[in-house]
Amino acid sequence: GEKVEQHQSTLSVREGDSAVINCTYTDTASSYFPWYKQEAGKSLHFVIDIRSNVDRKQSQRLTVLLDKKAKRFSLHITATQPEDSAIYFCAASNTNTGKLTFGDGTVLTVKP
Amino acid sequence: EAGVTQSPRYAVLQEGQAVSFWCDPISGHDTLYWYQQPRDQGPQLLVYFRDEAVIDNSQLPSDRFSAVRPKGTNSTLKIQSAKQGDTATYLCASSLTGVGNTLYFGEGSRLIVV
């Protein structure tokens, strides 16, 4: 089955700097790649996604890049703010089953 | 619009006891998921339904876990004879059918088995 790996378990940046979180996946049939944010003591909520028919998607301070050849995707956050501090989960969904597989999360800390 | 509702929020069990978790998805969402999230790990899919039908339960430990969604709306996840390894947060999520539809998660049910 699909395996999604997040290569940084923690990431610390200064407020105003950029943060990049990287993920890889194994299943070439995966076609949909969402990102979810989990703030302390709360559940997951959707932040941004990318589909396999494009290689870049931007929404305000968030950009997702997808490299299908390398089976790699990344979340870029610019001008980080303290409220960006949270656990970020990447995920991949199989085209055929729709099953969403998550990585283990990256704890992002934005220091003032 | 109401979000995904789960109950109870917390449960503490002795090994061997049983517990049921309940989920009320967003109205109109035909797909419902149960995920297990151990501490410091990502959510791991246990089972998901489209309406009342089980689509994938391959990761559900079938000897002790069961899940139903009898009318295609609310769902119950039951754990019988709980083990310490079941300690985790159980997340329910719902979505519309189709790849690429956003999953909306509930607040989760935190289970501790001692």
pLDDT of residue B1: 61
pLDDT of residue A103: 96
Predicted confidence (pLDDT) per residue in A62-97, tens digit: 999 999 999 999 999 999 999 999 999 999 998 777
Look at residue A99 and tell me whether its pLDDT is greater than 90: no
**Six-digit token pair at B66?**
């069961």
Look at residue B102 and tell me whether its pLDDT is greater than 80: yes
Please report the DSSP string for A62-89 in residue order.
EEEEEETTTTEEEEEE-S--GGG-EEEE
Predicted confidence (pLDDT) per residue in A8-57, tens digit: 999 999 999 999 999 999 999 899 999 999 998 888 999 999 999 999 99
A39: left (phi over 0), alpha (psi -120 to 50) or beta: beta
Look at residue B74 and tell me whether its pLDDT is greater than 70: yes
B-chain residue closest to A42, CA distance: B107
Query: Which residues of A fall within a CB distance of 8 Å from B48?
Result: 99
pLDDT of residue A96: 75
Q: Which of B29, B43, B49 is nearest to B102 (CA)?
A: B29
Query: Which residues of B fall within a CB distance of 8 Å from A31?
Result: 99-100
pLDDT of residue B2: 77
Which of A44, A45, A47, A52 is best to mutate for the B interface (most B CBs within 10 A)?
A: A44
Residues B83-97 have a mean pLDDT of 94
pLDDT of residue A19: 98
Look at residue B53 and tell me whether its pLDDT is greater than 80: yes
pLDDT of residue B36: 97
Please indicate whether, in this complex, the C-beta atoms of A99 and B102 are within 8 angstroms of each other: no
pLDDT of residue A62: 98
pLDDT of residue B100: 77
Please indicate whether, in this complex, the C-beta atoms of B43 and A99 are within 8 angstroms of each other: no
Q: Phi and psi dihedrals of B89, rounded to 5?
A: -100, 135
Q: What is the spatial order of strands in the sheet that B19-24 belongs to?
A: B5-7, B19-24, B75-79, B65-68
Instruction: Report whether the peptide linkage leading into residue B8 is cis, meaning its omega lies within 30 degrees of zero.
Output: yes
Interface list for B 73-102 with A (CB within 8 A): 91, 97-100, 102
Please indicate whether, in this complex, the C-beta atoms of B103 and A103 are within 8 angstroms of each other: no
Task: Output B2 or A93, whichever has higher pLDDT.
Answer: A93
**Six-digit token pair at A22?**
């990287």
Question: Taking the alpha carbons of B28, B31, B32, B35 in that order, is the dihedral positive or negative?
Answer: negative
Confidence label for B97 from pLDDT (cuts 50, 70 and 90) = confident
pLDDT of residue A98: 75
Residue type, A42: K
Which of A50, A100, A101, A106 is best to mutate for the B interface (most B CBs within 10 A)?
A: A100
Please indicate whether, in this complex, the C-beta atoms of A97 and B42 are within 8 angstroms of each other: no
Residues B22-45 have a mean pLDDT of 94
